[in-house]
Amino acid sequence: MTSDAPILLIHGGCHRGDCWRLLVPALEALGRRAVAIDLPGHGRDPAADPAPKTLDDGIAAVVETLRRFDRPALLVGHSLGGMTISGAAERAPETIERLVYLSALLPRDGETGAALAATPGLRAEVGSYLLDDGQRIAVKADRARDLFYADCPDDVAAAAIEALVPTDLGYLAQPVTLSADRFGRVPKTYVHCLRDRAIEMEAQISFRSASPGIDAREIDASHSAFLSRPGELATLLAEL
């Protein structure tokens, strides 16, 4: 039996909530309510709130949104967003029906995004594309096409690249606290993106295998399945 829970979509590093712009209407066409937010520091005008942001800030924003729903939600995290949704599940497990990791980091207690970035199958692909100004990470626009949007139509990829923003290092440097009786009690699904060039299958399998008992699904897409395969991804999510 499929769920009719609302779906909250959490972007990864260097992205904004509008990266889900093709997936939201695809989900709505299937009768599902879908909401995408900008994590703190990732809005259209980051200069309007220049204070450095941390993983805790992202977790707080997600929990605040979850508490606005009238029932537990399906919480989807992409890429670095896996850290944020994990922390939200620890803080407010009663607000979440299921966690969905879309080619995402899946941490264990005490791990950081920076540590997980060293996972074989991830660092070799991503490290050479990231810039570090001492405070934030950013993606080189001329490399983002291959890294994130390899199977997207040209116009979709161009718009996505134009929308990229930096991510504060606090999202990567802060460890996440997770416990068996809170985070551990929330059902989880890992959606493998089979052609991902940023978080390759080797890394995705490593993340999932480190947390036994997680449901696994697949989609034949690169890193940004919500842009290259929105209809297929919507159907997959709606069936969870």
- The answer to whether the CB of 214 falls within 8 A of the CB of 189 is yes
Looking at the DSSP bridge assignments, the partners of residue 218 are 192
Q: What is the overall mean pLDDT for the chain?
A: 92
The residue extents of the domains of the chain are 7-238
Give the pLDDT band (50/70/90) at residue 131: low
Structure tokens at 142: 């001329």
CATH superfamily of 7-238: Alpha/Beta hydrolase fold, catalytic domain (3.40.50.1820)
Q: Grade residue 133 by pLDDT with cuts at 50, 70 and 90.
A: low
Residue whose pair of structure tokens reads 């919507």 in the numeric block: 234
Residue type, 139: V
Question: Is a pLDDT exceeding 70 seen at residue 101?
Answer: yes
The arithmetic mean of pLDDT across residues 146-151, rounded, is 94
173, pLDDT greater than 50:
yes
In this predicted model, which residue has the larger pLDDT, 5 or 212? 5
User: In angstroms, rounded to a whole number, what is the distance separating the alpha carbons of residues 30 and 234?
Assistant: 8
Give me the mean pLDDT over the 21-39 stretch: 98
Averaged pLDDT, 138-150? 88
CA distance 116 to 108: 10
Q: What is the pLDDT of residue 118?
A: 87
Q: State percent of the chain over pLDDT 70.
A: 92
The pLDDT score that the predictor gives to residue 137 is 85
> Considering only CA atoms, which of 61, 45, 58 is closest in space to residue 170?
58
The answer to whether the predicted template modeling score (pTM) of the entire model surpasses 0.85 is yes
Binned at pLDDT 50, 70 and 90, residue 79 comes out as: very high
Bigger pLDDT: 166 vs 105:
105
Which H or E run includes 215? strand 215-219
Most confident of 113-117, 139-143, 185-189: 185-189
Residue 112 has pLDDT above 90, yes or no: yes
User: Which contiguous run of DSSP H or E holds residue 7?
Assistant: strand 7-10
Task: Read off the pLDDT band of 125 (50, 70, 90).
Answer: very low
